[in-house]
Structure formats: structure tokens, C-alpha cells
Amino acid sequence: MKDFQKELNVFQEALHIEQPWYVSSHLLDREHEILHIYHEILHIYLDFPRGSKFMCSHCGAYHQPVHDIVDENSDGSLKSGHRF
């Protein structure tokens, strides 16, 4: 577990992920085929603690609670139409 957390911290530092966001997990897809060529794709998943506050994307006000939580599609991509 300690090594796993160390890996997440490396991603967090390298990508300049700031609180309240944090890297919750990662997945290395080693057999992803694009145009008949196999590639390795790194998926990095972010999360935030319940009750976190953010800047409003519309008016810029600070310390605003989250109104909508984004759901994932079956393939793990984010569904559109939701906002913070």
C-alpha cells in the first residue's frame, strides 16, 4: 500500500494537482489498439474529498459547494452536461 500511495503522489506532483483534488488511482492499459498499432495508455483518475469547495466556473466566487457530481460512462469517460 505504501508503494501505491508513493506512485499516486508522484503523479500528483508531476501534474501539479492541487487540493482539494488528488490522484485516486491509475491504470496502465498495455494492450490498447489504435489504427492496428498497440499502445500503452496511462489513465489517471482524480477525486476530491466530500464537502470540498471550489471556485464557481460562472462568476468566479470562491469556496462554493459542489452542486452536481459528474457520472462516468460505462467506458470510464465523463458524461457531459454536469458542472461544478
59-77: per-residue pLDDT in tens?
A: 888 888 886 666 565 565 5
Bridge partners (DSSP) of residue 2 are none
**13-32: b (≥16 Cβ within 10 Å) or e:** eeeebeeeebbeeeeeeeee
Q: Average pLDDT of the chain?
A: 77
According to the model, what pLDDT value does residue 27 have? 87
CA distances from 36 to 19, 31, 32, 33, 41 (A): 39, 11, 9, 6, 15
C-alpha grid cell for residue 6? Answer: 508513493
